[in-house]
């Protein structure tokens, strides 16, 4: 794994040149039809600029990404009427992309390569009249090469591959479905407080066990939603953000890790993720300890992903994620404020933009009924591939 912090960190530059998130744009999310991924992306960037109080001419950088439909490309700059950009790129590291985009944008504004960078992710896999599973499957490409062999053997979806990872954790550490279910219940309790959430009705552990199997050991309530929509953030410098509409959210630290699990024998697939190296590296860049974190927004494509990420960041010992989750520590009344909007399990599935958007909302103090009282430091994770890619951000509220 990798995880070393880059040479240039926010603390290394004058305070006015340090990166902040100044704008957040969120389109309608969920079962929203009639728009392409590119249209959602354009709408999200426009909303982010309006949120910040920026004119479009102020944006001189654009980073774009899309989900399974691969519908957002460099042409988005032309669609938006953006000209003479200093930075323009497509990025893709799956669920870790949002965090990676903010990292690249932060380095760009710190170095002076660009002054104001929009980062946008959008997707539109849902189709009217089709189930979420059918829509998502139709949007995915048929695997080829080595992955094609695995698909021919029955490992054709992320559900099945993550199920293997979860089963290995269960076999090694005794993790149970009750413990996974506790995560689903806790996050639904958060979603009940979030007006943007797709699923807000509270659930019990009995409801969890009554939900159908998807890929054992995963039941339906272990698995994330499928959503249409787009989310964008705008990164600029502290000096540039000073006169804008929203309180700045400081980007204090970041790191990536790309384990590249190959499925070979004797590796640590399912037991350890990139969070184990990216987390400490991001904290070191920010100059803080894990105990300083107030709010935790984790990539939660599955309940298991929450559990193993909590372990790898060090919130509990390796192998103790199950008992930790079942202790009641994760819900609105719990000690550790995790996935405060309901996450991808209950709120909306915008890949890494789901935890990032909620982190910005919390750091600004704009979470309304779900707002965490102490929200100075927020940890954000992204997970991509099948535990192959990881990004960590440390965000800080305006002082």
Specify whether 349 is catalytic.
Answer: yes
Q: Give, in order, the Cα–Cα distances in Å from 395 to each of 55, 57, 196, 249, 361.
A: 25, 26, 22, 6, 11
Distance CA 326, CA 387 (A): 23
Cβ atoms of 383 and 299 within 8 Å: the answer is yes
Cα-Cα end-to-end distance for the chain: 35
**Residue that is written with structure tokens 């591959």 in the block:** 161
Provide the CA 201 distance to its chain's centre, in angstroms.
Answer: 23
Distance CA 198, CA 338 (A): 18
What order of strands is seen across the sheet that includes strand 19-26? 87-90, 61-66, 116-123, 229-237, 19-26, 249-257, 389-396, 377-384, 295-297, 337-338
Catalytic residue from among 136, 173, 299, 348:
299
Peptide bond into 217 cis (omega under 30): yes
Distance CA 27, CA 361 (A): 15
Specify whether 299 is catalytic.
Answer: yes
Residue-by-residue DSSP string for 39-51: HHHHHHHHHHHHH
Q: Residue 25 half-sphere exposure, CB side, CA atoms within 13 Å?
A: 26
Distance CA 203, CA 227 (A): 20
Distance CA 379, CA 392 (A): 7
Q: Residue 4 half-sphere exposure, CB side, CA atoms within 13 Å?
A: 3
Coil, helix or strand for 230?
A: strand
Catalytic residue from among 94, 136, 208, 349:
349
Query: Which residues are catalytic, by number?
Result: 299, 349
């Amino acid at each position: 794994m990798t995880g070393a912090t880059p040479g240039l960190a926010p603390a290394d530059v004058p305070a006015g040149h340090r990166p902040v998130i100044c704008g957040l744009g969120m389109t309608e999310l969920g079962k929203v039809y009639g728009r392409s991924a590119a249209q959602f992306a354009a709408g999200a960037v426009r909303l982010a600029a309006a949120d910040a109080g920026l004119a479009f001419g102020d944006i001189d950088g654009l980073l774009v990404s899309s989900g399974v439909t691969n519908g957002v490309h460099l042409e988005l700059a032309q669609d938006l009427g953006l000209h003479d950009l200093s930075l323009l790129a497509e990025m893709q590291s799956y669920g870790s992309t949002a965090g990676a985009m903010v990292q690249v944008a932060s380095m760009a504004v710190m170095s002076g390569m660009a002054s104001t960078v929009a980062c946008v992710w959008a997707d539109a896999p849902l189709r009217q009249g089709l189930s979420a599973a059918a829509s998502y499957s139709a949007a995915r490409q048929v695997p080829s090469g080595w992955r094609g062999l695995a698909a021919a053997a029955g490992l054709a979806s992320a559900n099945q591959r993550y199920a293997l990872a979860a089963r290995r954790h269960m076999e090694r550490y005794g993790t149970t479905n009750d413990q996974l279910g506790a995560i689903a219940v806790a996050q639904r309790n958060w979603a009940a407080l979030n007006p943007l959430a797709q699923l807000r009705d509270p659930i019990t552990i009995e409801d969890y066990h009554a939900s159908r199997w998807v890929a054992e050991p995963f039941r339906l309530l272990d698995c994330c939603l499928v959503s249409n929509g787009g989310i964008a953030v705008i990164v600029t410098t502290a000096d540039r953000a000073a006169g804008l509409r929203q309180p700045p959210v400081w980007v204090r630290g970041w790191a990536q890790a790309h384990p590249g699990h190959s499925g070979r024998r004797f590796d640590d697939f399912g037991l350890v993720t990139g969070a184990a190296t990216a987390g400490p590296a991001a904290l070191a860049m920010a100059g803080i300890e894990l105990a300083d974190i107030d709010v935790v927004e984790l990539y939660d494509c599955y309940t298991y992903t929450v559990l193993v990420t909590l372990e790898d960041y060090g919130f509990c010992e390796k192998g103790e994620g199950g008992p930790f989750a079942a202790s009641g520590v994760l819900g609105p009344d719990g000690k550790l404020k995790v996935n405060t909007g309901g996450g991808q399990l209950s709120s909306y599935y915008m890949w890494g933009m789901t935890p990032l958007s909620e982190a910005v909302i919390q750091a600004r103090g704009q979470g309304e009924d779900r707002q965490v009282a102490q929200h100075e430091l927020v940890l954000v994770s992204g997970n991509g591939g099948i535990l192959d890619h990881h990004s960590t951000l440390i965000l800080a509220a305006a002082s």
